[in-house]
C-alpha cells in the first residue's frame, strides 16, 4: 500500500508542477511577445514622431497635401485588400481612386462612392471639376457596380480656376508628360470605366447653358473662389432633381486656407440650408445635401 500511495502522491505532486510549468512558459512567452511588440511599437512610434518633426518630412507632407499625390501605402496591394474587404464591391474603385493625384480624401471618398451607388437606375451624375479623375473614378465605379447610369465629367482640362489653385494645377500639368485631358482619359480607361463616363470639355458655365437633363447627383469641385463657385452653383443647381443630392467639396471652414479658396465654405453657409435642403451632412471637407 505504502509504495502505491507514495507513487500516487508523487504523481499528484508532479502533475500540478508539470501543468504549472507549461502554463507558466505559455504565459511567459505571451508576455514576452507582448512586451517585445509593445517595445517595438513604442520605438517605431518614437522614430516616426521624431521623423515627423524634421523639416524634410514637413516639406514632404506639405507637398503631398498641396499637390494631392497619394502615398505609397494608399497605392499598395495591401491597401487594395483592405479596401475590398472593408467596402465590398465599391472597394476596388475606392482603392483605384487613391492612386490618382487629387484632393478628395478620408471619409468623403467613401461617401461619394456610396451616394453614387445609392442612386436610382440610369442615374445622371454630374461632376464639375474632374482634373485627373480621382473623384470621377469613385462616382463612375459606383455606377458600374450598379450596372446603369452615366457620370458626366465637366472640366476645361487647361488648369484654369481660382487664383489659389491655378499655380498648383500648373505645377502638376508641367510635371506630367501628357496633357491633363489625356491623363484623365488614361486614368479612366485604366480604371475600366470609359463606358460609364462622358466628358464635357469646356468652361462649366458654358456647358450649363446648353444642359437639359435633370440631375440625380451633382458634385461641385471646380472654381473655389466666392464668385466662381456661386456662379456655377446658380447655373447647375437648377438642374438638380427634387430628391437629388448635391455635394460641395472643400466646404468646411477648417479647410479654408486662403480667401480666394473659401468660396465653397461661404456657399454652403449661405445657400445649403433647410427647408430647401434636408438632410445636410458633412464628410471630411465635403458637404452633402438632398434637395427637397
Ligand atoms: C480641384 S480640381 C478637381 C479635382 C477632382 N474633383 C478630384 O477629386 O481629383 C478642379 C478642376 O476644375 C477645373 N476648373 C476650375 N474652374 C473651372 C470652370 N469654370 N470650368 C471648367 N473647369 C474648371 C480646374 O481646371 C481643375 O481641373
- Label residue 182 left, alpha or beta by phi (over 0 means left) and psi (-120 to 50 means alpha): alpha
Pick the CATH number of 104-291 from 3.40.50.150, 2.30.110.10, 3.40.50.300, 3.30.70.1730: 3.40.50.150
| pLDDT tens profile 51-78 | 888 888 788 777 777 777 777 888 899 9
**Residue 73: closest CA among 95, 47, 41:** 95
Q: Give yes or no for residue 1 having a pLDDT over 60.
A: no
Which cell numbers hold the place of 177? 508628360
How many C-beta neighbours within 10 Å does residue 70 have?
17
pLDDT digits 0-9 by tens, 83-123: 999 999 999 999 999 999 999 999 999 999 999 999 999 99
What pLDDT score does 22 carry? 62
Our mutation pick for probing the ligand 1 site, out of 101, 129, 217, counting the most ligand atoms within 8 A of Cβ, is 129
Residues 108, 135 contacting (CB under 8 angstroms)? no
Count of CB atoms within 10 A of residue 69's CB?
17
Per-residue confidence (pLDDT) for residue 148, from 0 to 100: 98
| DSSP bridge partners of 126 | 152, 218
Kindly give the distance from the C-alpha atom of residue 90 to the centroid of ligand 1, in angstroms, as a whole number.
Answer: 24
Q: 181-209 burial string, b = 16+ CB within 10 Å, else e?
A: bebbbebbeebebeebbebbeebbbebbe
- Provide the CA 83 distance to its chain's centre, in angstroms: 11
pLDDT band at 254 (very low <50, low <70, confident <90, very high): low
Q: What is the pLDDT of residue 290?
A: 98
Q: Which residue is associated with the grid cell 480607361? A: 189
Q: Percentage of the chain with pLDDT > 70?
A: 88
* Domain ranges (residues) in the chain: 1-53, 104-291
pLDDT for position 8: 42
Digit-coded pLDDT (tens) for 166-200? 999 999 999 889 999 999 999 999 999 999 999 99
Could you tell me the pLDDT band of residue 133, with boundaries at 50, 70 and 90?
very high
The whole-chain average pLDDT of the chain stands at: 88
Ligand 1 proximity of 265 Cβ (cutoff 6 Å): no
| Range 14-19 average pLDDT | 47
Q: Give the pLDDT mean for 201-205.
A: 98
Q: 239 CA distance to ligand 1 centroid (A)?
A: 19
pLDDT of residue 170: 93
* pLDDT surpassing 50 at residue 12: no
Which of 134, 115, 159 has the alpha carbon at shortest distance from 75?
Answer: 134
The reported pLDDT for the residue numbered 75 is: 84
Residue 130 has pLDDT above 50, yes or no: yes
Atom index in ligand 1 nearest the CA of residue 166 equals 25
pTM of the predicted model as reported, rounded to 2 decimal places: 0.82
Work out the pLDDT band at 257, boundaries 50, 70, 90: low
State the closest ligand 1 atom to the C-alpha of 204, by its place in the atom list counted from 1: 20
User: Is residue 243 pLDDT above 70, yes or no?
Assistant: yes
Instruction: Output the pLDDT for position 261.
Output: 84
- Please tell me which of 31-45, 93-107, 244-258 the model is most confident about, judged by mean pLDDT: 93-107
Ligand 1 center–CA 161 separation, angstroms: 7
Average pLDDT over residues 242-267: 85
Amino acid at each position: 500500500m505504502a509504495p502505491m500511495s507514495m507513487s500516487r502522491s508523487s504523481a499528484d505532486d508532479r502533475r500540478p508542477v508539470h501543468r504549472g510549468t507549461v502554463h507558466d512558459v505559455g504565459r511567459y512567452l505571451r508576455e514576452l511577445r507582448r512586451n517585445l511588440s509593445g517595445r517595438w511599437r513604442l520605438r517605431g512610434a518614437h522614430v516616426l514622431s521624431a521623423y515627423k518633426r524634421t523639416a524634410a518630412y514637413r516639406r514632404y507632407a506639405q507637398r503631398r497635401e498641396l499637390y494631392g499625390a497619394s502615398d505609397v501605402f494608399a497605392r499598395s496591394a495591401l491597401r487594395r485588400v483592405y479596401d475590398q474587404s472593408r467596402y465590398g464591391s465599391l472597394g476596388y474603385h475606392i482603392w483605384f481612386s487613391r492612386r490618382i493625384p487629387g484632393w478628395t480624401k478620408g471619409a468623403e471618398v467613401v461617401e461619394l462612392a456610396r451616394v453614387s451607388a445609392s442612386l436610382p437606375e440610369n442615374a445622371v451624375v454630374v461632376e464639375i471639376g474632374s482634373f485627373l479623375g480621382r473623384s470621377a473614378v469613385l462616382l463612375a465605379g459606383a455606377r458600374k457596380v450598379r450596372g446603369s447610369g452615366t457620370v458626366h465629367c465637366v472640366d476645361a482640362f487647361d488648369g484654369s480656376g481660382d487664383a489659389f489653385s491655378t499655380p498648383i494645377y500648373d505645377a502638376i500639368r508641367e510635371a506630367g508628360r501628357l496633357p491633363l485631358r489625356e491623363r484623365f482619359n488614361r486614368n479612366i480607361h485604366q480604371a475600366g470605366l470609359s463606358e460609364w463616363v462622358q466628358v464635357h470639355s469646356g468652361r462649366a458655365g458654358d456647358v450649363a447653358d446648353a444642359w437639359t437633363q435633370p440631375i440625380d447627383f451633382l458634385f461641385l469641385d471646380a472654381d473655389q473662389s466666392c464668385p466662381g463657385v456661386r456662379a456655377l452653383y446658380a447655373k447647375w443647381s437648377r438642374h438638380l432633381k427634387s430628391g437629388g443630392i448635391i455635394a460641395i467639396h472643400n466646404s468646411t471652414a477648417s479647410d479654408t486656407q486662403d480667401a480666394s479658396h473659401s468660396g465653397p465654405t461661404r456657399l454652403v453657409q449661405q445657400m445649403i440650408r433647410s427647408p430647401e435642403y434636408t438632410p445636410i451632412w458633412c464628410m471630411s471637407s465635403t458637404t452633402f445635401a438632398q434637395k427637397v
